[in-house]
Amino acid sequence: MAKIALFPGSFDPFTKGHQNIVERALPLFDRLVIGIGRNTTKQTLYTPEERQQQIAALFANEPRIEVQIYDILTIDFAKSVGAQYVLRGVRTMADFEYERTIADVNKRLAGLETVLLFADADTASISSSLVRELKAFGKDVTDFLP
């Protein structure tokens, strides 16, 4: 059976930190689905469609990666794409605590196994929210983006 992982997130925007997780996870799976969660309540920098385009362009040469937008529960979306694994990145203790709770629920409700990769040192301080904040104040954020 093909090993399929879902990498769910907001990716607003997709940073070098996200790229790092994707590149390191790719050898572990047959296919990787990057799932952009549509959040209708949050104010976003880019629309989900813009994010999908940007990420798909970045991995255009990698046929094992696909990028999709979803607006259902992550476990239901994982099932719909045939993913047995959820991929997430961990930067801090706060990330760890958060991921542990979600992983537990995802396993109970859907039998989904979560694979966590620790952030690499050179991208560990990058977050989408930091990029959004800097950008809002007119700062150059190209260093943080793929």
Binding range to ligand ADP, per CB under 6 A, among 6-14, 63-71, 103-111, 133-141 = 6-14
Site for ligand ADP in 21-50 (CB under 6 A): 21
Which of the following is catalytic: 10, 51, 88, 128?
Answer: 128
CA–CA dist 88, 27 (Å, integer) = 15
Q: Residues 38, 79, 91, 135: which is the catalytic one? A: 91
Site residues, ligand ADP (CB under 6 A): 9-11, 15, 17-18, 20-21, 88-89, 91, 95, 119, 123-124, 126-128
